[in-house]
Structure 1
Amino acid sequence: MPGPEVLLYGLPLAFLAGFIDAVAGGGGTITLPTLFFMGLTPPQVVATNKLLAIFGSGSATVQYWRKGHVNRALIVRLVPLALLGSALGAYLVHFVDPDAFRTLIGVVILGVGVLVLVNKRFGLEDRYPGLTNRTLALALPGAFVIGVYDGFLGPGTGTFLMFLFALVGFNLVGASGNARTINFATNLGALLFFLIGGQMVWWLGLPMGVANALGATLGARMAMLRGSAFVKWMYGGIVLLVAARLWFGG
């Protein structure tokens, strides 16, 4: 078990992860390797990461919610599907080797990033048409599939969610707000599951969670202040980070 000195680098990295995650997703690509480096066992890493992620995703959700960047009518329809998908993904992980398609998911998420960046207008304007048949046909199965991925593998879930919300018409600030809200719900569901397992390292997760929340608050405010163009280029960088994590992170 590591000593308290690991917080000297754990706290600033958790803050940075919260900032990045609140803007474009992908904070776990920083916190997961950090917890591994501290010497925690894999179950402790996964459980403790969910603990601190609750702080960050919750803080970002509050910021976006207050400024009207969360579409409540759509979110209440998607959260149950995302939770159901996440539970199914956690079940499937016992029967399928995640490494078998880790590289494929890395290619997919990189392709998503390229599509977002190459299409100059994608995500820069709010064109959300409301709860139309097209919206529901894209968002409902999309939330379920991404939920399965979150429970099964995880890295890049927020990035995929942002693409889904941008695809149905939100600008990238709105897409980020909605994605963080779904992430908070799935993180909460996973946290309740991991509490039963008793693998939480509380003395690390709680202070790193507070740092993560502070970073997420700043990141959400920065995204709303700077707008979708800022989020778009941050998103491109996070896509590269997540793809690298999937290909080389093990």
Structure 2
Amino acid sequence: MPDFDLFHALLLGIPLAFLAGMIDAIAGGGGVITLPALYWMGLPPANVVATNKLLAIFGSASSSWQFVRKGKVDLALASRMAVVAVLGSALGAHLVLGFHNDEAFRLLIAGLILMVGILVVTNKRLGLENRYEGLTPRTLLIGGVGALLIGMYDGFFGPGTGTFLMFLFVRYLRFDFVVGSGNAKVINFATNAGAFVTFLLSGKMIFAIGLPMGIANALGAALGARLAILRGSAFVKVVYLGIVLLVVARLIFVR
């Protein structure tokens, strides 16, 4: 286990985990806050990624429950996509354990997420109303392929997973931003769970940090989900665009 000052680590980590959980529940992107926080504690990269999965599973479970409880998740679609996402995430986590040079990949993802933000800004009506067409062959194909690829990305790298999921649900599956956010949280929980098992077996998780931060993340996520549901799609869209910029900045400038 790496050396670190647990008291000062949690003094920094707990409030940041709460904030990350709140933001992540609204629009995704909580890893933009928690990953740098874990790095600042002085943890090695492998411990950072593994411990972040530990705390993230708390937050994604909490926000998923809030959205499901309020009827803001399409369970028929999300449950099918979740199975595929778990498989993709576990595969991605296996790949990352043997991967060491991610600079070009980091810049590529930053460019893709920035493009997502531009598409959302230029389409002013995008995600403001629910135009989901049901479990059609088109929906199942797009949802299945998207869940597999984003699941692999989440297990392999991570930052921006919620951003990509939200865009998938809003742009291609035609949900509004609130239900899109609820669906994204359920899939994100599945991808976290898939990667969690792999990282747990690797022995890289720091439970003394991940568990307290996970509880804080869950509390923040519950608050964020309630805000998203109460304030509606226009509010979620604004927060989402802010998260796009933060994720891009994190990918480009934070090592």
1:238 aligns with 2:238: no
Alignment partner for residue 125 of structure 2, among 121, 125, 131?
A: 121
Q: 1:130-149 counterparts in 2 under 5 A? A: 130-149=134-153
- Tell me how far 1:58 sits from its aligned partner: 0.4
1:189 aligns with 2:194: yes
Q: How many residues align?
A: 250
Which moves more between the two structures, 39-48 or 104-113?
A: 39-48
Identify the residue that residue 50 of structure 2 maps to in structure 1.
47
Report the 3-state secondary structure (helix = DSSP H, G, I; strand = E; otherwise coil) of the residue aligned with 2:127: coil
Is residue 92–residue 151 contact of structure 2 (8 Å, CA) maintained in 1?
A: yes
- Tell me how far 1:113 sits from its aligned partner: 1.1
Listed as ranges, the gaps of 5+ residues in structure 1 are none
Report the 3-state secondary structure (helix = DSSP H, G, I; strand = E; otherwise coil) of the residue aligned with 2:25: helix
**What residue identity is the alignment partner of 2:188?**
N
CA distance in 1, matches of 2:55, 2:93: 19
Identify the residue that residue 19 of structure 2 maps to in structure 1.
16
- Tell me how far 1:96 sits from its aligned partner: 7.8
CA distance in 2, matches of 1:183, 1:74: 14
- Tell me how far 1:95 sits from its aligned partner: 5.7
CA distance in 2, matches of 1:95, 1:245: 20
Identify the residue that residue 75 of structure 1 maps to in structure 2.
78
How big is each residue's C-alpha offset from its partner over 1:158-208, in whole Å with a ceiling of 9 and x where there is no partner? Answer: 110011011211100101101110111111121111221222221211111
Identify the residue that residue 213 of structure 1 maps to in structure 2.
218
TM-score, length-scaled by structure 1: 0.96
1:102 aligns with 2:106: yes
Is residue 57–residue 214 contact of structure 2 (8 Å, CA) maintained in 1?
A: yes
How big is each residue's C-alpha offset from its partner over 1:56-98, in whole Å with a ceiling of 9 and x where there is no partner? Answer: 0000000000011111111122112212222332344436842
Same amino acid, percent of matched pairs? 63
How big is each residue's C-alpha offset from its partner over 1:75-125, in whole Å with a ceiling of 9 and x where there is no partner? Answer: 122112212222332344436842222111111111101111221110000
Is residue 6–residue 209 contact of structure 2 (8 Å, CA) maintained in 1?
A: no
Report the 3-state secondary structure (helix = DSSP H, G, I; strand = E; otherwise coil) of the residue aligned with 2:132: coil
Listed as ranges, the gaps of 5+ residues in structure 2 are none
Is residue 155–residue 192 contact of structure 2 (8 Å, CA) maintained in 1?
A: no
- Tell me how far 1:218 sits from its aligned partner: 0.4
Alignment partner for residue 228 of structure 1, among 229, 233, 236?
A: 233
Identify the residue that residue 247 of structure 1 maps to in structure 2.
252
Flag as ranges the 4+ runs of structure 1 deviating above 4 A. none
TM-score, length-scaled by structure 2: 0.94
Identify the residue that residue 177 of structure 1 maps to in structure 2.
182
Pair 1:189–1:87, CA change in 2 (3 A): closer
1:30 aligns with 2:27: no
CA distance in 2, matches of 1:207, 1:85: 28
Is residue 87–residue 151 contact of structure 1 (8 Å, CA) maintained in 2?
A: yes
CA distance in 2, matches of 1:88, 1:194: 12
CA distance in 2, matches of 1:198, 1:152: 17
CA distance in 1, matches of 2:109, 2:47: 25
